[in-house]
Amino acid sequence: MMPTPPDDTTRPNRPRGQGGSVSVELAGFVLPAMLISIILVAVAFRLAVTRLDLNTASASAARAASLQHDPTSAITAAQQAAESNLTARAITCTRLTVTTDTSRWHRGGAVTVTVGCTISLRRMGGFAGQVTATSTSTAPIDTYRPLAQAPVWPTPGTPMGHPNWVPGNPTRTGVRE
């Protein structure tokens, strides 16, 4: 005896005319939601990479500023370092600001650089709007390096080992030989 195939009356849980409704739900809701999720993850990733690049640019700018001998050249060096660092990383800022704080410009002091970058979201994922990200870094100024504003040469009687002490003839204090 051969079994008979089941007919629609043996499956009462599925009404007639509902075949393929899962495919429509998948195509109409799940796929667009997955696509939007992928786009949002990609934009978030690009924003995170941009933030890391800004941190690197501000650290580079602070270091370049700390290597200068006077505050004016430190400000210029910080601006140039930030611009070249961001250009090398292919970040397109619609507005770039570099603020250099030289209020602690002395031996053993520090210089602080804040880099701000306004980024268009249209380039990242096609969204309208802009995001402004900032990063601040501080670099120390070498204790033993001469600066334009700090006394470069020691006064007579400066003890050996003092940051202003210069080795040489004790009768010609401050003159390098």
pLDDT means per 10 residues in the chain (177 residues)?
62 58 72 88 85 93 93 94 87 88 90 92 75 93 73 52 50 38
Report pTM.
0.65
Query: Could you give the CA distance from residue 118 to residue 134 in angstroms, rounded to a whole number?
Result: 9
User: Do residues 87 and 115 make contact, with C-beta atoms less than 8 angstroms apart?
Assistant: no
Domain count, the chain: 1
Residue 144 lies in a domain: yes
Residue 2 lies in a domain: no
Beta strands 95-101; 130-140: pairing state? unpaired
Return the pLDDT at 14.
Answer: 57
Return the pLDDT at 172.
Answer: 38
Return the pLDDT at 72.
Answer: 92
Query: Could you give the CA distance from residue 116 to residue 55 in angstroms, rounded to a whole number?
Result: 10
Q: Number of C-alpha atoms within 13 angstroms, CB side, residue 85?
A: 24
Q: Tell me the residue range of the domain where 105 lies.
A: 29-166
C-alpha 142 chain-centroid distance: 25
